[in-house]
Amino acid sequence: MSGDTITQSATSQTTPSRTTPSRTTPSRTAPSRTARSKTATSTPVALTRAARELGLRRGEFELAVQLGYVRTVPDDKGGGPRVARAEIDRVRDADGFPEALRERVTVLGTRDGAALMGVTPARFTRFARLGLVVPVKFYLNRYRAVVWLYLAEELRQFAAGKENTRLLSGRTPEGLRDQLDAGLDLRPRNWRGRHLGFQLRQTEDPWERAAVVASLLDPAQVAEIVQDPYERALLNRLRPARSAHDTHDSPAAVLTARIMTADASDEIGWLRADLRQSLAEAREHRPAPRPSPGVPDERPPETTTAVELSGASEEAQRSRGLFGWLRRRNP
């Protein structure tokens, strides 16, 4: 029995002047129940629950978020991102759900990708090294070999392009062969560029955006640009979390860090310029937190400066920076 029914039966023997407002004014119990119901259906849900309701595995859901197929919202209580109920309904109401969504986030390795495109794995690898197809994810197998993964949807589009017909069946053009012979491999760099775009799309906070850019630079490079230790400590805290393939200074962890760190001079120069610009915007937005007046000024973590780094060799700088970063980032 609803709250409105209870109100009407209780007032049926009263005068009309009192009955009229009771019919037009809801009882106190009805709005509270309605409010609780609306709150339950409108409260954003955790990512794991959203993935379950959309019928996606964890990796598929993460990729759907990165590609913008599923939009997230910040948690009002300061937790991680969540998914609004309206967003879940929107995705589920789309044509072809859930098969269409799963196809858009399907990833393939070299062998399966080559089979999809109708080429040999060796030819497919050449495409990837030349940057003609761009990896979307990677992982290390049990032999510590890098396994690159590609979006099946993009591979289909590449194979269907008329301009790629000669590449799929004919000899590799001489200019491209020369680049391959010289050792060109754009897979790590292209993955970093794509990863940077994913991360930047998921945040609007200026300091977090600066941290995303800084995460792709060696700490020695960051220290030269961000000389304030408190700003550097803030960037370290806001670095995007990444999966740990191994612990501390293991070969697998070093290899992962190498893939995630820019190494080409032009790429480093572009990231350094982007970091300077992002840092200027972040400073204008709000200053990095510092000790309050009267509180002992203790140096925050990661206080290595460019001056201190200049006394060491370039290789020692890189090793120290990488290993220090891994120790901080690995759980």
Tokens in use for 47? 């990512």
Tokens in use for 201? 């799309």
In order along its 331 residues, the chain shows pLDDT tens digits of 444 443 343 344 444 444 444 444 444 444 444 444 444 567 899 999 999 999 999 999 999 999 999 999 988 777 789 999 999 999 999 999 999 999 999 999 999 999 999 999 999 999 999 999 999 999 999 999 999 999 999 999 999 999 999 999 889 999 999 999 999 999 999 999 999 999 999 899 999 999 999 999 999 999 999 999 999 999 999 998 765 444 567 888 889 999 999 999 999 999 999 999 999 999 999 999 998 776 555 555 554 444 344 443 444 444 444 434 434 444 4
Q: What is the pTM of this model?
A: 0.76
Q: Which helix (H) or strand (E) holds 228?
A: none
C-beta of residue 155 within 8 angstroms of C-beta of residue 132: no
- Going from the C-alpha of 252 to that of each of 137, 145, 190, 255, the distances in angstroms are 16, 9, 20, 5
C-beta of residue 218 within 8 angstroms of C-beta of residue 318: yes
Q: Which of 271, 288, 234, 259 is nearest to 144 (CA)?
A: 259
pLDDT in tens, 60-113: 999 999 999 999 998 877 778 999 999 999 999 999 999 999 999 999 999 999
Helix (H, G, I), strand (E, B) or coil at 36: helix
